[in-house]
A and B are shown apart, each in its own frame.
Chain A
Amino acid sequence: MTVDQGQVDQGRPLQIDSSVDIGGARLKNPVIAASGCYNRGAEYGRVVDVSGYGAITIKSITREPRLGNGMPRVAGTPAGMLNAIGLQGAGIEHFLANEAPKLASVPTAVIASVAGFTVDEFADVAARMDGIANVVAIELDVSCPNVDGESGACFAADPAATAAVVRAVKRRVRLPVIAKLTPNVADLQPIARAAEAAGADAISLINSVRGMAIDVVRARPMLANAIGGLTGPAIRPVAVAAVWDVAQAVKIPIIGMGGIESGRDALEFMFAGATAVSIGTANFRDPQVHVRVLRAILDETARRGFNSVRALTGLANPDFAGARVAT
């Protein structure tokens, strides 16, 4: 998709190519709704034009129905939000029968997020997502922080476990596969390399940061699950650093996320090495946030004299390992 930026650069109308390629999935623009914050797209569609997103990532689907965690599941913190939803959902059968057909009417591309507790579960659910109308990629939620203790579900803490999931899924699907990694590890680079070596077509990061808040009046954790995942601007520097590190370790595209609220925030991620960005919690405050973010990315592209948003990727990262776009 090209967007007319009007008369800039010595009176020449500059056409900006806003499209990006996420491991084979072509998105019309690099702004994505993050998993868990957009359900299936219909809710925010009541108040904003969802088609402004390059893609939306649906809430993670598991094989079995799950009731999720007890209440409370969310808590406010000074610069972010804690959540421990616990992957509530009706499971893949219900999804395929009732919700998958509706994805065809989502007015932009859909990334299907898959969660699981075993390698087989990931592969089974991912395989059944392949072929749903409008689904352009599979994101593997190998890093949900809120289901620990249920078989040590955080695959993304370990390079071999991450690779095993990616490899099993890649054998079963044709769509591009995105591995979503956690920042709750000592060193992300070996995990990202393992995902790439196992065939991942892209990496998204970060998932929420393990965190906790305590109600000092009641002397109890704020969340029923005690520990939750922190999101929002509080985690943005952690996320930018994660993208920075991983961009030096792998050649596959990166989707950066974590506390993005504005175009300026998104540029940090792209300059660190992200090809695209995802917005999660900020939707809860400003459902128009994606419009502002995309406009800022296009403006910045034009201001720097580039004709593609892809030229912004890795600008600040001298050791960026991915493919640079000549413009």
Chain B
Amino acid sequence: MSRPAPKKNSVMASTAAALDMATLATREYSAPGFWCLGFHAPAAAASARPAQFAALDIPGAFAPRLPLGIWTARDEQIGFLFREWGERTRRLAQLQVGAQISVIAPLGNAFEAPPRGRRAVMVAGGLGIVPFWMLARDLVNAGSDALAVIGARTSQLLVGAELLERLGVRVVLCTDDGSAGRRGSVLDIVRELAQPTDELYGCGPAAMLRALCGFALEAGLPCQVSMEETFGCSMGTCWGCVVPVRPGSAQATNYPKAPDERRPYDFARVCADGTVFRAADLVWNP
């Protein structure tokens, strides 16, 4: 089955980003090294859509801002699920309830939900689960048959799955070492389960997304993936976070008026043109 490429300003396009102060309302240690923080940010919580992200000004850290995918958006709060990893995430994890920080949100485009009642499979690697809470909620609300396949290297890195289950989607877990769920990769499971499905969604390490996109193209399944890159500005100004895409595709930025230009790839900005791209539009290792 083939689908027309989405138009640049279709439902996927981003809109209402705002610069605002957000107050830390909840702070939970989610798993060893992982934190779940909820910030009171009513406007962002109301407008955030699946796979959108926020740019956080971390007190005491220098530019640039810390970009984090929005995990939950409910009750006037946006939630972040993240791993304490570098300087900025360490400082963020140390914030106390009541602390105010400057947040720009929501940023980036969003996953496009399939038509009502369709089947959808969400495929997450590790913290690639982050965009799937909002998507799972939307899918459940739309009466879709939704499945989440969540994998990680080991059980310690498998976080957040219970929140997806609580929304009412089926969840299948797997780990490379078999320490939780099935032993094997998310792709092993997707190969068994995905067909028939109407839409695949992916977020996780680049190697996983590449394999998922390859599978989707081979199987003729529509597939959207949320990409990650090191961001500079998070706003689309610095061109620091580009990803190779098919020339002439909807999100290609460099030569939109010259589709005849014979180049194997073009670049799109992950932060502003993405983070969501269609599998058919991505060019891996050009």
Contacts and interface: CB of A to CB of B under 8 A. Distances in A.
B5 interface: no
Contact of A94 (B18, B229, B257): B257
Given A65-B254, A81-B64, A282-B63, A43 B235 contact: yes
Given A88-B254, A286-B57, A287-B19, A36 B238 contact: yes
A36 B272 CA distance: 16
A80 interface: yes
Interface string A265-307: 0000000000000000111111110000000000000000000
Residue from A37, A76, A284 whose CB has the most chain B CB atoms within 10 Å: A284
A52 interface: no
B255 A81 contact: no
A21 B265 CA distance: 44
A232 B62 contact: yes
Given A67-B254, A73-B240, A73-B241, A285 B267 contact: no
Interface string B234-248: 111111111100000
B104 interface: yes
B102 interface: yes
A27 B253 CA distance: 31
Contacts of A286: 57, 63, 102
B242 A44 contact: no
A13 interface: no
Given A68-B239, A72-B229, A73-B242, A284 B234 contact: yes
Given A46-B17, A73-B239, A284-B234, A65 B64 contact: no
B230 A75 contact: yes
Contacts, number: 123
Contacts of A59: 237, 239
B258 interface: yes
Contacts of B95: none
A288 B104 CA distance: 12
A232 B63 CA distance: 7
B49 interface: no
A83 B238 contact: yes
Given A72-B230, A286-B102, A39 B237 contact: yes
B232 A43 contact: no
Nearest to B254: A90
- Which range contains the number of A residues in contact with the other chain? 35 or more
A285 B62 contact: yes
Given A38-B237, A43-B272, A59-B239, A284 B232 contact: yes
Residue from B242, B243, B256 whose CB has the most chain A CB atoms within 10 Å: B242
A43 B242 CA distance: 16
Please report whether the interface of chain B is mostly helix, strand, loop or mixed according to DSSP.
loop
Contacts of A39: 236-239
B242 A288 contact: no
A256 B234 CA distance: 25
A284 to B, nearest CB: 4
Nearest to A282: B63
Residue from B86, B239, B242 whose CB has the most chain A CB atoms within 10 Å: B239
Contacts of A75: 230
B233 A65 contact: no
A37 B237 contact: yes
A81 B232 contact: yes
B105 to A, nearest CB: 10
A90 B229 contact: no
Contact of B233 (A67, A71, A284, A288): A284
A216 interface: no
Interface string B254-277: 111110010101110000100000
A258 B174 CA distance: 49
B231 interface: yes
A125 B65 CA distance: 34
Interface string A16-47: 00000000000000000000111100011011
Given A285-B57, A286-B57, A83 B232 contact: yes
A182 B104 CA distance: 33
A199 interface: no
B17 A71 contact: no
A323 interface: no
A285 B63 contact: yes
A74 interface: yes
Contacts of A43: 233, 235-237, 272
Interface in A79-125: 79-81, 83, 85, 88-90, 94, 97-98
Contacts of B231: 74
Contacts of A261: 63
A284 B238 contact: yes
A207 to B, nearest CB: 15
5 contacts: A47-B104, A59-B237, A72-B230, A88-B267, A286-B63
The 10 A-B pairs with the shortest beta carbon distances in the complex, nearest first, are: A285-B63, A74-B240, A284-B64, A39-B237, A47-B19, A74-B232, A284-B63, A43-B236, A43-B235, A284-B233
Interface of B: 17-19, 57, 62-65, 86-87, 102, 104, 229-243, 253-258, 261, 263, 265-267, 272
Interface of A: 36-39, 43-44, 46-48, 59, 65, 67-68, 71-76, 78-81, 83, 85, 88-90, 94, 97-98, 232-233, 261, 281-288
Given A67-B266, A261-B63, A285-B62, 8 more contacts: A43-B233, A71-B242, A73-B242, A97-B257, A284-B64, A285-B63, A286-B63, A287-B235
